[in-house]
Amino acid sequence: MAKREEPNPLAPFPKKEAGESGVHSPVPQLAAVALLAAFALYQAVAHNNFPDFFIYRAGAVIGLRGESPYDAEKVRGMVAAEFPDAEMLIANCGFFLPPQAIALFAPFAALPYPAAKVAWALATGVAGLGVLLLPRLFGRTREGIDRLWPAAPLIAFAVLLAPTLTVPIVLVGQTTLLFVGCVAAGQWCFERGRPTLGALLWAVPFVKPHLALPLLPLAWYLGGWKRAAAVAGVVAGLNLLGGLIAGGSLLFFRDYLDFLGAGHKAVAFNRVELNPQVTSWNRLLFAAGGPLIELTAATTLAGYLVWSGLLAGRYAITGRRPSAAWALAAAATGSVLCSQVLGYEVLVLALALPWVLDLLAAGRSGWAVAAVALLAVQWIPYPQYLAWVESLAAAGQWEALLLSYRAAGVALLAAVVLVGPSAERPA
């Protein structure tokens, strides 16, 4: 039997409207990726940015020496040598990623740092290509994609070149764009019968396990327990490999947990009390005058359980199996709602785009507009917004709450996802 040809997700689609001819060109979206890659390469060659990437690579460099990167002084010494004037960075840095990051960043650690920066910039461009797949995945039909194709360039530019989200991610060398790109590319593999590569790609976001945890139940929901077990197995294997590289110990993951519990809260950037751009529910609670709660592993898991309970309650009330796109939106929203992460991680909410497109295709424009408006809240530039809030004479006791707009936007989006329509219907 001849092998069935799978569609190319980046190939142009024929126009469907009567009287039209030709194809929908992917050139505008690819132009957005090219601009993203060019910007990243320029930063890699012309400037000494990428401090977070430097720290992640430093952890792998230390690991390749057979030493533990969970020694803050080793990392701080390397950071001080590369960024001698960045006193705040030096005082608040550390390798807080799990052992699998040692394995994943080892190829960059094997290169001289200038070459490693260029390789990371190229990886950023490849991740951007993955993001382009989103509008065509998670249950999107060919007809629905074709109908909404004119919005594709706008989506690509809004996500890949967002000056207040993606650009800062590139400048500091964060992994959020890689997270989104790997989820999209992995789903493309799953939908086209390439489960091994799909599981490997979905394992990459677990360099930040607190943020990636919802991918496991999502994998189960979309592909059954075997898919979830495959993703979990790859994650476990990468962590084992990282531990063996660094220390030769099967218990190396315990060192990571001990260091994370002792050192993560000491970083000023990560504390709810000090950083209004934290996205999780506890920042909103604190800003509203509630108790100060700094999330631990246990309270993060508790938050996920509450969110899962709300999703299960929704299913019990409606009695309908939600669409794949809605399930992805629920997982993405839960990630940044339940994890104590910083503002650049809200780019994960780009994973809600297939659901928004389903709403538009189903004629649910009111819900789509509400979701897009709450996503757009995250584009507000913090420095300018901070200056505006501080200029308000009436801000007073409301200042902390006003400055927590990222957490407020995430919480409101979570509410919209929770009660909004979940399945695509004909317009």
pLDDT at site 263: 59
Average pLDDT over every residue of 90-113: 91
4 falls within a domain: no
Residue 14 has pLDDT above 50, yes or no: no
Taking the C-alpha atoms of residue 37 and residue 106, their distance in angstroms, rounded to an integer, is 22
Determine the 3-state secondary structure of 229 from DSSP.
Answer: helix
Give the residue from 67, 180, 86 showing the smallest Cα distance to 134.
Answer: 180
Write down the mean pLDDT value for the chain.
Answer: 85
Taking the C-alpha atoms of residue 221 and residue 215, their distance in angstroms, rounded to an integer, is 10
144 falls within a domain: yes
| One domain for residues 106 and 226 | yes
Place of tokens 């996503």: 375
| One domain for residues 279 and 169 | no
Sequence-distant (6+) residues with CB within 8 A of 117 are 44, 45, 50, 53
pLDDT at site 5: 41
| One domain for residues 262 and 276 | no
Burial grade of 11 (CB within 10 A; 0-12, 13-18, 19 or more): exposed
pLDDT at site 266: 62
Residue 252 has pLDDT above 80, yes or no: no
2 falls within a domain: no
135 falls within a domain: yes
| One domain for residues 36 and 178 | yes
Taking the C-alpha atoms of residue 367 and residue 280, their distance in angstroms, rounded to an integer, is 23
Average pLDDT over every residue of 36-46: 94
Residue 376 identity: A
pLDDT at site 426: 37
112 falls within a domain: yes
pLDDT band at 1 (very low <50, low <70, confident <90, very high): very low
pLDDT band at 114 (very low <50, low <70, confident <90, very high): very high
**Span 185-211, pLDDT tens digits:** 999 999 999 999 999 999 999 999 999
What is the SS3 string spanning 241-252? HHHHHHCCCCCH
94 falls within a domain: yes
Determine the 3-state secondary structure of 14 from DSSP.
Answer: strand
**126-130 CB contacts, 8 Å cutoff, 24+ apart:** 126/181, 127/177, 127/178, 127/180, 127/181, 127/182, 128/32, 128/33, 128/36, 128/37, 128/160, 128/177, 128/181, 129/10, 129/33, 129/181, 129/185, 130/180, 130/181, 130/182, 130/183, 130/184, 130/185, 130/188
Yes or no: say if 116 and 48 are a contact pair by the CB < 8 Å rule.
no
Last residue of a domain, one of 266, 294, 323: 266
Determine what percent of the chain is predicted with pLDDT higher than 70: 85
pLDDT band at 183 (very low <50, low <70, confident <90, very high): very high
**Span 284-300, pLDDT tens digits:** 999 888 898 888 888 99
pLDDT at site 149: 63
| One domain for residues 34 and 77 | yes
Taking the C-alpha atoms of residue 332 and residue 348, their distance in angstroms, rounded to an integer, is 6
| One domain for residues 131 and 45 | yes
Last residue of a domain, one of 266, 285, 314: 266
pLDDT band at 397 (very low <50, low <70, confident <90, very high): low
17 falls within a domain: no
Residue 142 CB neighbour total at 10 angstroms = 12
Does the model's pTM come out above 0.75?
A: yes
| One domain for residues 247 and 143 | yes
| One domain for residues 281 and 334 | yes
Average pLDDT over every residue of 179-188: 95
Last residue of a domain, one of 239, 266, 293: 266
Determine what percent of the chain is predicted with pLDDT higher than 90: 52
| One domain for residues 325 and 396 | yes
pLDDT at site 109: 95
Output the DSSP codes for 122-152. Answer: HHHHHHHHHHHTGGG-TT--HHHHHHTGGGH
Residue-range definition of the domain harbouring residue 348: 271-427
| One domain for residues 261 and 276 | no
The total of structural domains in the chain comes to 2
pLDDT band at 388 (very low <50, low <70, confident <90, very high): confident
Output the DSSP codes for 49-116. Answer: --HHHHHHHHHHHHHHTTS-S--HHHHHHHHHHH-TT-HHHHHT----S-THHHHHHHHHHTS-HHHH
| One domain for residues 76 and 142 | yes
| One domain for residues 233 and 92 | yes
21 falls within a domain: no
